[in-house]
Chain A
Amino acid sequence: MLTILTLAPIQKIKYNQWLKQGLFGCVGGLGLYLITILYAQQQMGLALLFLVVFSGGLYVFISQRAYSLRYAFPAVAGITCFIIFPLLYTVGISLTNYSGNNLLTLDKVQDYFIQQRYIDESQRYSFKVFKQGSQLQIALTDLFSQQQWLSNNIELDGQPKTVSIHTAQSLPAQSSLAIKDIIKLKKSLKQLTLELPNGALLSMTGLRQFAASKSLYQLAENDLLINNQTGEQLSPNWHTGFYENNQGEAYPPGFTVSIGLDNYTSVLFDDSVREPFIQIFVWTFVFSLLSVLFTFIVGLFLASLLQWDQVKGKGFYRVMLILPYAVPAFISILVFKGLFNQNAGEINLILFQLLGIKLDWFTSPFLAKSMILLVNTWLGYPYMMLLCMGLLQSIPKDLYEASAMDGAGPLDNLFKITLPMIIKPLTPLLIACFAFNFNNFVLISLLTNGGPDIIGATTPAGTTDLLVSYTYRIAFQDSGQNFGLAAAIATLIFLLVGALALAKLKLSKLEG
């Protein structure tokens, strides 16, 4: 069978070779195109990423020596592009003031200023429009000298275009368009630029007049911008990322500049940022720790019950107990959000009928935190139960028999046999679980979205926010869009998660 497979017709191999080389050519060309464009747009990070990925890919797939790498390359490239690169890029952003106010590069901001135009009121012309079939003719009259100009027949298609006009002794004999027809044409007329014989450019500034429009700014040396109308000079402020006039007033839009470690210092030393940060940091730790603890206790308890030979119907219990794990989290979290709703939720309804109380689950910080822990225990215990069931099976049964002979109770068994036996293989898994809950964005985002808010914080911060949901909100929600600050906090979390990952790797190595 195998020998047949290897004896492929020679013709086919040749054809394959051509196909292969064509493919490499295409991929290389595409890569080069992307890299050049990104480089031209000053997206150095991205250009470098594509350079590494494309050249690495071509080398691996062309060189015979790198044959073994061919199998691993696509996966490694995927991880590089979508995990490692975003990580490094985030660290890079954390050193800048990239935000909703400082979104553009310096070039784009300068382009924006240069494209601004102002109307030179000293050169105003009234205009008339004459219609012949679908074609139009535009006539201008200088308000002071009564000199007249006329354009050739033109077609309006709504696209910007420049039309030159020439001196005319008399206007066409027919009557010009009434003002209501001009209103209808206003949009297309606004797109027109008329060019006088002396080269001045005019655009429509009112329903009856065209006027000369000029660039408001021109670029001078050292990135200075000079206002053509007032002569004012705008200079770039390299620290705030805005153009400023002499009085220090900022002119938006701002551009992105590197601000060194400012984002980190504001997290650590600026009170209005630091206090919510520390509060959220502590809660994140408490939340992850308690989540691991609760899910582990419930999971271990259920696993020991299900391990017990005397209990029948294990299959049924197992499926029922695994259900919270099987229902997609984004659905069950939203279900809890509805059930816990303060006015319309079923849980408050039951509490009211039984005890006559209604709890404010979403506005009291303590109750909101309790609710989150409750829901997270519901969501998380099945995983722990499955892990513990696997680990409990590896404990020799005769240990328990011996302890029963000695008259030990269930608690003695738990603390003297079960826990010491499973704690070692379990530790790295508990660390992973801790890290997962530390970054449990979906739970917070869907259940409380961080609320109730921390009072007096300048950033969007809530009492139930975890560090991840906090960074997400700084970056993507509310008004701020402060990507730089969000990236700085994300970098701090990276360091923590990295330490956890290393600890986990060390511990699982000791065990294996």
Chain B
Amino acid sequence: MAIVQAKSTKYRVWLSHIGLCGFVALIIFPLLMVVSISFRTGNFSTGDLFPSQFTLEHWSLALGIPFSHADGSITQPPFPVLTWLWNSIKVAAISAGLILLLSTTAAYAFARLRFKGKGFLLKSMLIFQMFPPVLSLVAIYALFDQIGQHVSWLGINTHGALITASLGGLALHIWTIKGYFESIDASLEEAAIVDGASTWQAFRYILLPLSVPILVVVFILAFITSITEYPMASVLLLDVEQLTLAVGAQQYLYEQNYLWGDFAAAAVLSGLPITLVFLYCQRWLVSGLTAGGVKG
């Protein structure tokens, strides 16, 4: 608490509260809008901002249940939203698991083991992580096109290709985990190795149990990155049934086929779980993000 305070402090505090509340209202306006639109009749703005005619049509369609109107006509769901959500979760969980596995072992090597070219590898990883994969999409497409001719589950239009391609984004996670490993005292592992444990055992039974928090953070980060990944999925996946949410969602808003209400329900349905996971984990995530960021 500052010792010297201006007399106007009280007014300034009130002003800050009003300013912050106003800003928050402005920020969450679009999000509230979408929730309200998802309950509004029809697919166009009708003149009233909050639904005067309440309907569950969009929600029923988003959940994949055909909706029967009062006049007896039935609307079929336009897109398989739940399949897309399941695809997204499947791809994100597997790729986050693989990324966690590979970046943990790599971070162990970089933090604890000695080998030639370590500094060079670390530095070049930092540089390469800044190149966005969207620039080399042509090459990535050609790569999986070729592999797919011999290994069918790694070809174009498979989730295997998307998962494998996501393994390029390891560098940031390696740095994050490496930073955490270095903050743990190495003497425990050294003692174990003196007692006859192998390097692998020292890693598996001593270092890993101590690092669970950062592993959780990296898993969630990789999971969210993979769920929101758009450019690679848009090139590698073709069939409607195979799409992930990030690629599929935009199909609602084509000029010729504009399904604003249906989109709103699908967006809330699929966006809410991801948002809640993020908010729940944000405390750990933010420290991980800024740690990786400051070092990077």
A residues engaging B (CB < 8 A)?
Answer: 2-3, 5-6, 33-34, 37-38, 41, 43, 46, 66-72, 74-76, 78-79, 81-87, 89-90, 93, 302, 305, 308-311, 313, 317, 319-332, 334-339, 341, 344-346, 349-350, 378, 383, 386-387, 390, 397, 400-401, 404-405, 425, 428-429, 432, 435, 439, 441-442, 445-446, 468, 471-472, 475-476, 483, 486-487, 490, 493-494, 497-498, 500-502, 504-505, 508, 512
Contact = CB atoms under 8 A, between A and B. Distances in A.
Given A2-B205, A305-B19, A505-B127, 8 more contacts: A75-B170, A78-B167, A82-B164, A323-B27, A334-B252, A335-B264, A475-B137, A476-B235
Interface stretch (B54-62, B64-72, B209-217, B243-251): B243-251
Given A87-B136, A305-B16, A346-B49, A323 B31 contact: yes
Contacts of B33: 335, 339, 346
Interface in B201-258: 201, 203, 205, 224, 227-228, 230-231, 234-235, 245-246, 249-250, 252-253, 258
B3 A401 contact: yes
Nearest to B289: A386
B176 to A, nearest CB: 13
Contact of B165 (A82, A445, A472): A82
Nearest to B268: A331
B74 interface: no
B28 A34 contact: no
Name the prevailing secondary structure of the B interface residues: helix
B143 A344 contact: no
A97 B5 CA distance: 70
Contact of A38 (B2, B4, B146): B146
B192 interface: yes
A83 B143 CA distance: 12
A475 B137 CA distance: 9
B270 to A, nearest CB: 7
A6 B196 contact: yes
Contact of A446 (B103, B164, B205, B250): B250
B218 to A, nearest CB: 13
B20 interface: yes
A331 B38 CA distance: 14
Contacts of B16: 305, 308, 310-311
B143 A331 contact: no
Contact of B20 (A69, A317, A334): A317
18 contacts: A37-B150, A70-B109, A74-B106, A75-B106, A82-B165, A85-B143, A86-B136, A87-B128, A90-B135, A334-B250, A335-B30, A335-B33, A386-B290, A404-B5, A425-B294, A439-B132, A445-B231, A500-B130
B166 to A, nearest CB: 8
B78 interface: no
A218 B204 CA distance: 65
B184 interface: no
B132 A441 contact: yes
A334 B140 contact: no
A349 B47 contact: yes
Contact of A378 (B27, B139, B197, B234): B27
Nearest to A313: B17
Contacts of B167: 78, 81-82
Size bracket of the B interface: 35 or more
A68 B109 contact: yes
A79 B274 contact: no
B146 A72 contact: no
B45 A321 contact: no
A427 to B, nearest CB: 12
Which interface residue of A38, A331, A487 has the most chain B CB atoms within 10 A?
A331
Contacts of B286: 386
B186 interface: no
B282 to A, nearest CB: 6
A327 B275 contact: yes
Given A68-B115, A445-B231, A508-B296, A74 B105 contact: yes
Contact of B142 (A6, A89, A311, A345): A89
B132 A327 contact: no
B130 A435 contact: yes
A34 to B, nearest CB: 6
Contacts of A486: 138
A70 B105 CA distance: 9
Contacts of A429: 293-294
A363 to B, nearest CB: 12
**Closest 8 CB pairs between A and B?**
A82-B168, A86-B136, A75-B106, A71-B109, A86-B139, A89-B139, A78-B167, A72-B109
A459 to B, nearest CB: 15
Given A93-B139, A322-B282, A334 B263 contact: yes
Contacts of A317: 20, 24
B49 A5 contact: no
A82 B232 CA distance: 11
B294 A328 contact: no
B97 interface: no
A12 to B, nearest CB: 14
Which interface residue of B31, B245, B294 has the most chain A CB atoms within 10 A?
B294
A294 to B, nearest CB: 14
B267 A335 contact: yes
Contacts of B130: 432, 435, 497, 500-501, 504
Interface string B85-120: 000000000000000001101101110011100000
Contacts of B174: 75
A302 B20 CA distance: 8
B32 to A, nearest CB: 11
A126 B156 CA distance: 46
Contact of B140 (A82, A324, A501): A82
Contact of A46 (B121, B128, B143): B143
Interface string B123-135: 1011111111111
A404 B138 CA distance: 58
